[in-house]
């Protein structure tokens, strides 16, 4: 009886009496001799040829999750595989994406974009009010206070201009400083109040203005300055308060004196004892001479310092009006009577004339 020979590696014989061994089919292998079958290629491997003694590893960017396969599958978009012989692909991490198949790695989202979820094929643009300044970000950052961003897909935020501010995060614009406030540098979260002695009556300003001579402001955030009151003065700009005039200086009165607010001049003898306003006249504050009202039709009103109409003038105006109305009514009545008389008077008949020019009448 002839001797039998063991099947070589890559071959098998599962029945007796064979003259030759069978080759291992694709997707299988056999690394030993004298075997009755060929094992299936395990997951992560494949074999596309016959009578092989080993299986091949799936290349990076591919996978095989079933046994006995002739080839490996490419990793789908949103996944990757950077090692060989793997049964599965890995999903792209947050902050990354992959829009092609069969890839060994994922791509980081560029600045101005982000991706919160895993296994994605694209990144998302940062919204207005947000930014991303580095690659591979899962989330965009909000613009901090004092900055803004009004566009999408941005890698930075812009500072608020001087004269504006923004006190919240993630904003798309800045607000102008209101009157009484200012901002002298960019990127401010709050506008500053004008200091005492200064004011600002406009919006969006970068500085405040000193109160002019004869005015003052003692509070923060003044929109306008106040006039120095009587008995005080202001001879410089930017005053917080007006100093009080010293004794012997001029002060306010209703007649015969002037109130000086830039300084307090020494009163002249004529001013030290103000003269009372005479009857029938008006004396505005600071006047040197009284203004006389035209009597008897105008009389002085000391509360308003004006010449107002008297009762006599009002009566005269009313009387003239009544007389004018009576005259108009009389003329209208006379005209009416004349019209009525003409209406009832018989018309004269026209008679033929004789040669002598006299009328010719006929008898009964």
Judged on CB neighbours under 10 Å (0-12, 13-18, 19+), 22 is middle
What sign has the CA pseudo-torsion 299, 300, 306, 311? negative
Cα separation of 5 and 19, whole Å?
A: 9
Task: Let me know: does 205 contact 215? Beta carbons within 8 Å.
Answer: no
Judged on CB neighbours under 10 Å (0-12, 13-18, 19+), 92 is buried
Please give the pLDDT value at position 63: 98
Q: Which residue has the tokens 């995060």?
A: 169
Per-position pLDDT tens, the chain of length 364: 468 899 999 999 999 988 899 999 999 999 999 999 999 999 999 999 999 999 999 999 999 999 999 999 999 999 999 999 999 999 999 999 999 999 999 999 999 999 999 999 999 999 999 999 999 999 999 999 999 999 999 999 999 999 999 999 999 999 999 999 999 999 999 999 999 999 999 999 999 999 999 999 999 999 999 999 988 888 899 999 999 887 765 554 444 444 444 555 555 544 444 556 766 666 766 566 677 776 666 666 656 667 777 777 777 888 888 898 898 898 888 888 887 776 665 554 444 555 555 554 444 4
Q: What is the pTM of this model?
A: 0.58
Task: Let me know: does 61 contact 35? Beta carbons within 8 Å.
Answer: no
Task: Let me know: does 63 contact 88? Beta carbons within 8 Å.
Answer: yes
Please give the pLDDT value at position 126: 98
Q: List beta partners, residue 233.
A: none
How far does CA 225 lie from the centroid of its chain?
29
Please give the pLDDT value at position 256: 41
Please give the pLDDT value at position 345: 52
Alpha helix (H) ranges present in the chain?
A: 269-272, 311-344
For residue 246, say if its preceding peptide bond is cis, omega within 30 degrees of 0. Answer: no
Please give the pLDDT value at position 299: 66
Q: Which residue has the tokens 């005053």?
A: 239
Contacts 24+ apart (CB under 8 A), 26-33: 26/50, 26/70, 27/68, 27/69, 27/70, 28/52, 28/68, 29/53, 29/54, 29/55, 33/6, 33/7, 33/8, 33/9
Judged on CB neighbours under 10 Å (0-12, 13-18, 19+), 64 is buried
Please give the pLDDT value at position 364: 42
């Amino acid at each position: 009886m002839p001797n039998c020979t063991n099947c070589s590696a890559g071959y098998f014989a599962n029945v007796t009496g064979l003259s030759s061994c069978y080759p291992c089919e694709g997707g299988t292998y056999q690394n030993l001799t004298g075997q009755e079958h060929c094992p299936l290629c395990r997951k992560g491997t494949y074999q596309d040829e016959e009578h092989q003694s080993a299986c091949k590893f799936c290349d990076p960017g591919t996978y095989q999750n079933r046994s006995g396969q002739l080839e490996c599958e490419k990793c789908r978009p949103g996944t990757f595989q950077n090692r060989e012989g793997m049964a599965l692909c890995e999903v792209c991490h947050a902050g990354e994406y992959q829009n092609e198949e069969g890839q060994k790695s994922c791509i980081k989202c560029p600045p101005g974009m982000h991706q919160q979820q895993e296994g994605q094929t694209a990144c998302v643009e940062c919204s207005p009010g947000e930014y991303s300044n580095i690659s591979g970000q899962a989330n965009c950052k909000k613009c901090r206070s004092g900055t803004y961003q009004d566009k999408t897909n941005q890698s930075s935020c812009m500072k608020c201009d001087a004269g504006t501010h923004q006190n919240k995060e993630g904003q798309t614009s800045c607000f102008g400083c209101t009157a009484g406030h200012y901002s002298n540098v960019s990127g401010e979260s709050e506008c500053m109040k004008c200091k005492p002695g200064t004011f600002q009556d406009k919006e969006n300003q970068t500085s405040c203005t000193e109160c002019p001579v004869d005015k003052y402001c003692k509070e923060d955030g003044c929109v306008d300055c106040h006039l120095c009151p009587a008995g005080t003065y202001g001879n410089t700009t930017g005053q917080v308060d007006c100093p009080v005039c010293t004794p012997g200086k001029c002060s306010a009165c209703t007649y015969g004196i002037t109130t000086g607010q830039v300084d307090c001049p020494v009163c002249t003898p004529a001013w030290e004892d103000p003269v009372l306003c005479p009857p029938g006249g008006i004396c505005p504050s600071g006047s040197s001479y009284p203004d006389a009202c035209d009597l008897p039709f105008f009389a002085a009103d000391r509360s308003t310092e004006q010449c107002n109409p008297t009762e006599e003038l009002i009566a005269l105006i009313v009387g003239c009006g009544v007389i004018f109305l009576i005259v108009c009514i009389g003329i209208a009545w006379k005209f009416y009577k004349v019209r009525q008389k003409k209406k009832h008077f018989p018309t004269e008949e026209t008679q033929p004339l004789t040669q002598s020019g006299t009328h010719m009448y006929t008898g009964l």
